[in-house]
Structure 1
């Protein structure tokens, strides 16, 4: 799984700041959009992994994890 790097965050923030102050060139706007899409892809992937690692248990200790989630775990 890819990780969101500090450099990526810094570049995203720098472009956002520049956008708010002096504006971006067309090339910078394109780069900003690419970075945002990559950030979202990595974030969603990590979030999906977190959700798939969840086990739902009722008050009596019975596993009540939804079938859909169990199936997704088996597929990975």
Structure 2
């Protein structure tokens, strides 16, 4: 579902970008574009944060070297029990 929302945001942002290049935007469309961009960035950051929080990093010898800050977040979310 989140992916569909992102696709809708991207589609509308691109429509407004095309219109801005071709004929310009009304004041309402400029406000809409700003709002859509903020929503897109918020969703992108949430998704990226979630991916980083789920990550585990291992060195060549197979030893886990995940940063402690990430481990702490994982513990708080119940993703680790070490």
Whether TM-score is above 0.5 comes out as: yes
In the alignment, what sits opposite 2:23?
22
Mark the runs of 5 or more structure 2 residues left unpaired by the alignment. 78-82
Identify the structure with bigger relative contact order (alpha carbons < 8 Å, sequence gap 6+).
1
So what's the TM-score if we normalise by structure 2? 0.81
1:58 corresponds to 2:56: no
TM-score (norm 1): 0.87
Any stretches of 5+ residues in structure 1 without a counterpart? none
Corresponding residue pairs, total? 76
Could you tell me whether the CA contact under 8 Å between 2:58 and 2:64 is conserved in 1?
A: yes
Offset at residue 5 of structure 1 (A): 3.6
